[in-house]
Structure 1
Amino acid sequence: MSATVAAPPRWALRIAGITRRSPTLAIGAAILLGFALMAILAPWLTPYDPVLAQPRNVLAPPGGAHPFGTDGNGMDVLSRVIAGAGWAFGIAIPAVLVGLLAGVPLGLYTGYRGGWPDEIMMRGFDALRVFPSIILALAVVAAAGPSLLNVVLVIGFLDSPVFARVVRAEVIALRGSTFVESAVAAGNPTWRILFVHILPNAIQGAMAQTAVRAAWAVRISATLAFLGVGIQPPTPEWGAMIRQGAEYLVTGQWWVGIFPGLALILMVLGLNMLGDGMQDMLDPRRKAATR
């Protein structure tokens, strides 16, 4: 008798289906999963304390007990790169949540109401676009102080116009729909029309932007740390590590800045690929254009 072959589990079939429909999303998700595991398992993966200085082992080249070498304080670069993944997620995720919580209700209300609230919001966003985001972030963080909370709040609020614009455009297209007119005719209050009837149909575009905006948050936080106004040493943050490593590139100690720089590039690449894949999956117009 021939043995029956067990059918693959349902979750495996779903993953295979997503991979076929959007390889970009699958690759980006795989990269981020690796970094997420690195961040979660950092206490067990790091061979040394990431902030433990070893004065007798300063700028040791890669190899032996230190696969990525040591920095100018004798700290193990591999341990600091692994620990830096947790800081990257710890900045990107809260910053995106702040942007969503600030931008989505604003775009929802002004897109539905129109008139002067919408006009004021759009002119305010236009004024913000005059100044480069990094200059605004640099000025605000420098004035407020280089703490993790300040960095997250500044990045989140600077990113909120992106979510507000996306939701506003969807609401404008939906507010004349039959189901919205029916909700109004049934006597629903404005808050119920916005959050129960319109929001579930207008949120997809904003959700598709989350991964791309998380990549932006990681880049901006690293840039702030590189310029000396973000997360401060000896915290194992990739931007601060690149800043320290830049001082040693001219003298040949390339590993201090190269390894955290590669980690930063790979994580931003994974987030951008995940964001592009999510937009392809959620936006039927883009999906049709790629066929």
Structure 2
Amino acid sequence: MTADATDPRHETQTAAEAPPRLRDRVVGLARLSPTGAAGLALIVLFALLALFSGVLMPHDPVASYTDRILQPPSAEHWFGTDGNGMDVFSRVIYGARFGFGIAIPAVLLSVVIGVPVGLIAGYRGGYLDEVLMRFFDGLRVFPSIILALAVVAATGQSLFNVILVLGLLDSPVFARVVRAEVLSLRASVFVEGAVAAGNPTWRILFVHILPNAIQGALAQVAVRAAWAVRISATLAFLGVGIQAPTPEWGAMIRQGAEFMVTGQWWVGVFPGTALILMVFGLNLLGDGLQDVMDPRRRAAK
């Protein structure tokens, strides 16, 4: 007799089979790209630190204990205290919020600017393509850190300005990637069919071409997020951008560098390690995304 779909035993059996299927998918992704899985694990760890920092921090990250200045790591202060008597462990955990709080908006802004420009420039071609690409090339001519330093110093040292500058400076990367894909797609049969059917230009670009041209840009998201985290920390280290006592890793490393020569290594080493691990994880994740989205890379490996 065929089992009834409404039979509670059938529902229990189906529910019991669901977790193994999900587990098999996760294992399959890990086998497909071990580097991507390792990077994802690191990023998930930092994401959990950022989300639950209020629970994980043993002390207020900006509270100053004047009687505990530059204390080495101990049971009370796991990563020691800095030159202001602030708990380094709590500040490192809270700093993960600024890592994601800068990387995610900056990359989203780059995508919002770069992808439409790449679509329009690649599809239209001609003078419009030349003007748009030459403007974006101009943004890439100067070293990014020098240009970011100049713009942030001129516009003001705020989180919003840092995100705005990083998003603008990195948008040419996405524009170039999308434009290259559009150039190869605009003569495709499905595009010609969409034009012959009388579709407006915006529909051809965003409905027919974009879904086929976006994979390369998506594969760059994690790598460019790593770039944004690194550049924002560099700006803070150089004294431009987010400033102390805000618990941002670059600013913490800058303060720690002053005490390194006198032996208080913990002030700069722990935020520096967190920065390295987050950038490393994002780069690994970006490499994994490229493996997943590009079969030729998988075949080469």
**TM-score, scaled relative to structure 1:** 0.97
Give the number of equivalent residue pairs: 286
Answering whether residue 39 of structure 2 is matched by residue 11 of structure 1, we say: no
Q: How does 1:236-275 map to 2 (within 5 A)?
A: 236-275=247-286
Q: Which amino acid aligns with 2:99?
A: A
Q: Which amino acid aligns with 1:148?
A: L
Alignment partner for residue 66 of structure 2, among 55, 59, 62? 55
Answering whether residue 142 of structure 2 is matched by residue 131 of structure 1, we say: yes
Is the CA contact (8 Å cut-off) linking 2:140 and 2:172 kept in structure 1?
Answer: no
1:85 Cα shift?
Answer: 0.3
Output the CA distance in 2 between the equivalents of 1:30 and 1:268. 13
- Per-residue CA distance 1:214-245 (angstroms, 9 max, x = gap): 00000000000001111011110000000000
Answering whether residue 85 of structure 2 is matched by residue 74 of structure 1, we say: yes
- Per-residue CA distance 1:63-101 (angstroms, 9 max, x = gap): 120010000000000000000001100000000000000
Q: Which amino acid aligns with 2:300?
A: A
Output the CA distance in 1 between the equivalents of 2:159 and 2:166. 11
Is the CA contact (8 Å cut-off) linking 2:36 and 2:284 kept in structure 1?
Answer: yes
Alignment partner for residue 158 of structure 1, among 143, 150, 169? 169
Q: Which amino acid aligns with 2:287?
A: D
Output the CA distance in 2 between the equivalents of 1:36 and 1:129. 31
Give 2:7's aligned residue. Answer: none
Give 1:89's aligned residue. Answer: 100
1:9 Cα shift?
Answer: 2.8
Output the CA distance in 2 between the equivalents of 1:236 and 1:44. 16
1:123 Cα shift?
Answer: 1.7
Output the CA distance in 2 between the equivalents of 1:10 and 1:74. 50
Query: Percent same amino acid among aligned pairs?
Result: 72
Where do 5+ consecutive residues of structure 2 fail to align? 1-12
- Per-residue CA distance 1:15-47 (angstroms, 9 max, x = gap): 000011110010000000000000000000000
Output the CA distance in 2 between the equivalents of 1:284 and 1:125. 30
- Secondary structure of the equivalent of 2:239? coil
Large movers: runs of 4+ above 6 Å: none
Alignment partner for residue 118 of structure 1, among 126, 129, 148? 129
Output the CA distance in 1 between the equivalents of 2:230 and 2:148. 12
Output the CA distance in 2 between the equivalents of 1:207 and 1:264. 23
Answering whether residue 197 of structure 2 is matched by residue 186 of structure 1, we say: yes
Output the CA distance in 2 between the equivalents of 1:138 and 1:9. 51
Give 1:225's aligned residue. Answer: 236
1:121 Cα shift?
Answer: 1.9
RMSD, matched Cα: 1.0
1:283 Cα shift?
Answer: 1.2
1:141 Cα shift?
Answer: 0.3
Output the CA distance in 2 between the equivalents of 1:38 and 1:280. 27
1:186 Cα shift?
Answer: 0.2
Where do 5+ consecutive residues of structure 1 fail to align? none
- Secondary structure of the equivalent of 1:62? coil
Give 1:276's aligned residue. Answer: 287
Alignment partner for residue 182 of structure 2, among 161, 168, 171? 171
Q: Which amino acid aligns with 1:201?
A: N
State which structure, 1 or 2, has the greater radius of gyration over its C-alpha atoms: 2
Is the CA contact (8 Å cut-off) linking 2:121 and 2:133 kept in structure 1?
Answer: no
Is the CA contact (8 Å cut-off) linking 2:191 and 2:204 kept in structure 1?
Answer: yes
Output the CA distance in 1 between the equivalents of 2:221 and 2:200. 29
Answering whether residue 53 of structure 2 is matched by residue 22 of structure 1, we say: no
1:282 Cα shift?
Answer: 0.3
Output the CA distance in 2 between the equivalents of 1:224 and 1:129. 18
Output the CA distance in 2 between the equivalents of 1:160 and 1:217. 12
